[in-house]
Structure formats: C-alpha cells, structure tokens
Amino acid sequence: PLDRFQRARADVLRARIFFAADRGREAPSLLLAVAKRLESLNTRLAREIYLDALTAALFAGRLAGELDARQVARAARAAPPSPPPTRAVDLLLDGLALLIIEGHPAGIPTTRKALERFHNDDIGTEDALRWFWLAGRIAGFIWDYEAWDSLTSRQVRSAREVGALSELPLALTTRVGVHLFAGELRAAESLVQESDVLAAVTDSRIFPPYGALAVAAIRGDEDELVRLLRTSTADFNVRGEGMGLTMAHWVTAILYNGLARYDEAFAAAAQASVDPHELWFSTFALVELIEAASRSGRSEQAADALALLGESTSASGTPWALAVEARSRALLQQGPAAETLYREAVELLRATRLRLDLARSHLLYGEWLRREGRRVDARKELRLAHEMFTEFGMDAFAERTRVELEATGEHARKRTVDTLDQLTPQEAQVSRLAAQGNTNREIAAQLFISRSTVEYHLRKAFRKLDVTSRIQLARLML
C-alpha cells in the first residue's frame, strides 16, 4: 500500500491532469487540498503545489466557483515557509499571493526579487520548463518587459533542447506577446504557426488560441478575430477558463480602438476589466478602456480606470509602466499639461523595444495636436505613427492614423499588399526561422518536416521575395 506521501504525490498527478484538461474546473480545489496535506510531509513540495493551485485559480478567473484566487492566495500566505535556502519559486509564490491579496504596491517588490532569482540562479531544465512560463507571464503583467523577454526566451530554448513537445506550445504562446509589443507581428505569427504544427503533429488538445487571438486583433483583422472568438469562447466556458474570456474581451477592445469604434471598444474593455484583481489581462484592459472612454465622452469612467491603472504602473516604475500611465493621463488633461505627458510617454518609450506602444503614443499625441489646431506639429507625429503601424502590419491602426493625417491636409497612401504577404504561411514560417540564423536541419526539427521540404519552401520564398542569400532574407524579414 502507498504511504501518506506517496498518496499525496498520486493526488498531485491527478490534479495536474485535471488542470491540463479543464483549466479551472476541479484543479484549484484538488491542488489546494493536496498542498495542505503536504505541509507536514514536505514543505518545499507543498509550496510548489500551492503555486500550482494559485495558477489554476487564476486561470479559472471569473468562472471560479466557491474557491477563487483570493482564497487560494490567503491559504498560500498562511502556509509554512520553505526551509533555507529560499528558492526563486518560493519568492514567486509569496509575490503572486501578495499581488492578489494586497495589490501591486505590496506584491511587486517580492515578485521582482523572484524574477531576479530566476535570472541569476542555476535553474535546471525541469524547473525551467515548469516555472519560466509563469515567471515570464507575471513579468509582463508587472510591466517588466526585459524579464518577460528573457525568461520566455530561455523557456523556449530549454523546451527545444530537450524536445519537450508537450511544453513547447505553452512556451511559444507565452512568448507571442513579447513580439507583439515590440511590433514584430511576423515573428509572433511564426510562433502561432509553430504551435499549430505541434498540435497537428502530437494530435493534442492544447489550450485555446491565445496567440492567434492577439495577432488577429493587433493586425486589425475583424473577420479572423470573430471566427476565432466563436470557437474559443465556447471552449473557455467548457473548460472553466475565465482568464481566456478576459483575454478575449481585451483583444476585442484593442481591435475596436484600432478601428476607431470606441463604443464597442469601451464595452469590451469594461468586460475585460470588470474584476481588477483578476490580475492577468485586466490591467492591460484598463489601458484600452481609458482610450475608448476618453474618445466616447465617458470621462468619469476613464478617470476611475486611470486610478486603478496608476496603482499598477506607479508601483512598477519601469519605463514601460510610466510611459503608459503618462499617455493615459494625457487623454484626460488639456493644454500644456496634456502635451507634457504625451512627450513624456514618447521619450520613455523611445529607449525601449516597445515599439507598438511608441506608435500608439505618437498617434494619440498627433490626434491631440490636430484638435489643438497645430496641423504642422500633428503631421510629424501622425506620419511617424503611420509609418510604424504600416511597417508592423497593424492595418486598423494604420487606417485610423491615415484618416487623421488626411484631416491635417496631408495625403497618406493606404497600405498596399506587402511583398511578404505573398508568402504562404509555411513559406513565411520557414523564411522567418532561416532569417533568424537557423540551419535547414534545425528548421526541419522545429517544424517536424524534412530538410528537402525546408529547401523547397525556401526556394519558393527566395523567388517571390527576389533575394538570393540568407543575408538578404534576414534584412527583409527582421
């Protein structure tokens, strides 16, 4: 017969299977019960399972039953501390619990220590695969772009090195946002396509298409986003994955802000931010809500959202956080105060890789300048924004900017079909990997195709793009 510890380990495995299959249904309560039982048997393992339970509860989000993330976080805070030395995962548990219970000012310092430990400690492959996606995702939501980039990059690399096919889709999806906020839509699309290939190869039912939803919204493809939402929303509900519903509302708000349909953007952002303690996407949704509200005559709602956003951004203090806060505050200001804030946002973002937010800051500043009657100054900002959105492939925001430019008296051409758009999805994916320096053998291994198939797609891509070397390809693709 199994002893108490062995039975607890068996229950851990059972709970993790539930979590993989139906994110938010039974997993949080099962994991929490096992974590409590393990406290007297193995404190270190108990704390790891508390973090699993907290993660499961966050996935459940608005669809949580009687057990929500705040209850799990309180239980985790009451758990015994891990014996020395304190691990990165222990700090991550403490920081995440504080973020949920007491908010960003209380939780960010400990969370930041956890991220530093994940960077600096010698983390084994097994722990990297298990925790880096979570650490990276939390880094993004406390506005630490560099940690988000670094941790997710290391997780993808670890998964590739050991051939962890079951872990790679999660690693790739967590990294999609890193590329999107940098304005690298083609790189993000490549990761989404690779996840699709993995799903087909392993015949697995992986989580709904978070990455594809975000790419469609930021590109401004309403038809594709609606199609994805139709299937994924039903899946989120079946799986009890409330976080997915929040994410769906957030990306919908981005789409409609890009299309200048502010009433619809406001409705979606309000749904996404209905519970600011949901943590994952609700904070980002506040940014969309403030923009949509300020453009649709809802100044009171914009001010309320700004107060909530400020708790997060001020506590973070990163250039990204401070820039987004400054830009959001500018939307509710007038005269010199507004201009100072717009300029502050632009200057802070210029020193970062966050080109998507930089482009949006140029757009909002340009729109404000035009409304102030400063057409010449407005053209400069709007021209920059239009060039960036066009380069990124953000069609909705590019068109919104083009309309504003024309209102200043300057004609801006609509985006024409990009040469890269002529590539098929697999040609684009193979070309992207080749441009990043991967050999044909490495590309074949990543995409589970033969080297001859890689060569075939590259030949076609070279012909369509009128390039003759990988150096030329890299200049065009990256």
Q: How far apart are CA 134 and CA 128, in angstroms?
A: 10
| Overall average pLDDT of the 72-91 stretch | 95
Kindly report the CA angle at 477 between 476 and 478, in degrees rounded to 5? 105
Nearest to 280 by CA among 271, 272, 288: 272
Which stretches within 259-351 are classed as H helix? 262-272, 282-295, 299-316, 319-330, 335-350
pLDDT for position 91: 97
Residue 365: pLDDT band by 50, 70, 90 thresholds?
A: very high
Q: Are 324 and 313 in contact (CB under 8 A)?
A: yes
Whether the upstream peptide bond of residue 83 has omega within 30° of 0, thus cis, is no
Instruction: Indicate if 351 and 440 belong to the same structural domain.
Output: no
Residue 198 covered by a domain: no
Instruction: Indicate if 9 and 116 belong to the same structural domain.
Output: yes
Residue 478: pLDDT band by 50, 70, 90 thresholds?
A: low
Instruction: Indicate if 349 and 439 belong to the same structural domain.
Output: no
Domain that holds residue 440: 420-477
Q: What is the pLDDT of residues 391-441, one digit of tens each?
A: 999 999 999 999 999 999 988 766 555 666 778 777 887 888 888 888 988
pLDDT for position 427: 84
> What is the DSSP code string of 399-449?
HHHHHHHHHTT---PPPPPPGGGGS-HHHHHHHHHHHTT--HHHHHHHHT-
pLDDT for position 410: 86
pLDDT for position 34: 93
Higher confidence at residue 197 or residue 274? 274
Taking 90 as the threshold, does the pLDDT of residue 44 lie above it?
yes
pLDDT for position 12: 82
Mean pLDDT highest for which of 19-33, 38-52, 453-467? 38-52
Count of CB atoms situated within 10 Å of the CB of 10: 12
Taking 70 as the threshold, does the pLDDT of residue 448 lie above it?
no
Q: What is the pLDDT of residues 222-250, one digit of tens each?
A: 999 999 999 999 989 988 899 999 999 99
Residue 204: pLDDT band by 50, 70, 90 thresholds?
A: low
| Overall average pLDDT of the 242-261 stretch | 97
Residue 196 covered by a domain: no
The whole-chain average pLDDT of the chain stands at 91
Instruction: Indicate if 83 and 38 belong to the same structural domain.
Output: yes
Residue 357 covered by a domain: yes
Taking 70 as the threshold, does the pLDDT of residue 30 lie above it?
yes
Q: What is the pTM of this model?
A: 0.89
Exposure b/e, 394-431, CB count within 10 A at least 16 = b: bbbbbbbbbebbeebebebeebeeeebeebeebbbbbb
Q: How far apart are CA 20 and CA 17, in angstroms?
A: 5
Residue 407 covered by a domain: yes
Instruction: Indicate if 8 and 22 belong to the same structural domain.
Output: yes
What CATH number has the domain bearing residue 348? 1.25.40
Q: How far apart are CA 219 and CA 392, in angstroms?
A: 8
Nearest to 318 by CA among 112, 164, 95, 474: 112
pLDDT for position 418: 64
pLDDT for position 24: 64
Residue 296 covered by a domain: no
pLDDT for position 416: 55
Q: How far apart are CA 190 and CA 239, in angstroms?
A: 27
pLDDT for position 203: 63
Mean pLDDT highest for which of 47-51, 119-123, 124-128? 47-51
Percent of the chain with pLDDT over 90: 66
Of 122, 156, 191, the one marking the end of a domain is 122
Instruction: Indicate if 351 and 453 belong to the same structural domain.
Output: no
Grouping H, G, I as helix, E, B as strand and the rest as coil, residue 69 is helix
pLDDT for position 438: 86
| Overall average pLDDT of the 362-386 stretch | 97
Of 364, 391, 416, the one marking the end of a domain is 416
Nearest to 173 by CA among 119, 113, 132, 143: 132
| Of 211-225, 253-267, 412-426, minimum mean pLDDT range | 412-426
| Overall average pLDDT of the 202-227 stretch | 88
Q: Which residues contact 205 (CB under 8 A, 6 or more apart)?
A: 21
| Overall average pLDDT of the 188-207 stretch | 78
Instruction: Indicate if 427 and 457 belong to the same structural domain.
Output: yes
Q: Which residues contact 59 (CB under 8 A, 6 or more apart)?
A: 19, 23, 24, 241, 242, 243
Nearest to 343 by CA among 305, 381, 370, 379: 381
Count of CB atoms situated within 10 Å of the CB of 78: 11
Residue 3: pLDDT band by 50, 70, 90 thresholds?
A: confident
Instruction: Indicate if 336 and 410 belong to the same structural domain.
Output: yes
For CA atoms 413, 226, 55, 201, the dihedral sign is: negative
Instruction: Indicate if 427 and 403 belong to the same structural domain.
Output: no
Domain tally for the chain?
3
Q: How far apart are CA 183 and CA 225, in angstroms?
A: 19
- Return the DSSP state at 82: P
| Overall average pLDDT of the 93-98 stretch | 97
Grouping H, G, I as helix, E, B as strand and the rest as coil, residue 93 is helix
Taking 60 as the threshold, does the pLDDT of residue 69 lie above it?
yes
Greatest CA separation found in the chain?
82
Instruction: Indicate if 432 and 459 belong to the same structural domain.
Output: yes
pLDDT for position 23: 65
Of 401, 416, 431, the one marking the end of a domain is 416
- The dihedrals phi and psi of 3, each to the nearest 5 degrees, come to -80, 180
| Overall average pLDDT of the 300-306 stretch | 98
Q: Are 419 and 180 in contact (CB under 8 A)?
A: no
Residue 291: pLDDT band by 50, 70, 90 thresholds?
A: very high
pLDDT for position 452: 82
Q: 313 is written with which tokens? A: 């951004």
> What is the DSSP code string of 37-63?
HHTTT-HHHHHHHHHHHHHHHHHHGGG
What CATH number has the domain bearing residue 440? 1.10.10.10
Instruction: Indicate if 112 and 33 belong to the same structural domain.
Output: yes
Residue 211 covered by a domain: no
Instruction: Indicate if 117 and 27 belong to the same structural domain.
Output: yes
Count of CB atoms situated within 10 Å of the CB of 121: 13
Nearest to 241 by CA among 28, 75, 22, 86: 22
Residue 189: pLDDT band by 50, 70, 90 thresholds?
A: very high
Q: Are 1 and 10 in contact (CB under 8 A)?
A: no
pLDDT for position 415: 57
pLDDT for position 323: 99
pLDDT for position 465: 86
| Overall average pLDDT of the 253-262 stretch | 98
Residue 229 covered by a domain: no
Residue 251 covered by a domain: no
Percent of the chain with pLDDT over 70: 95
The helix (H) or strand (E) run that includes residue 156 is: helix 145-162
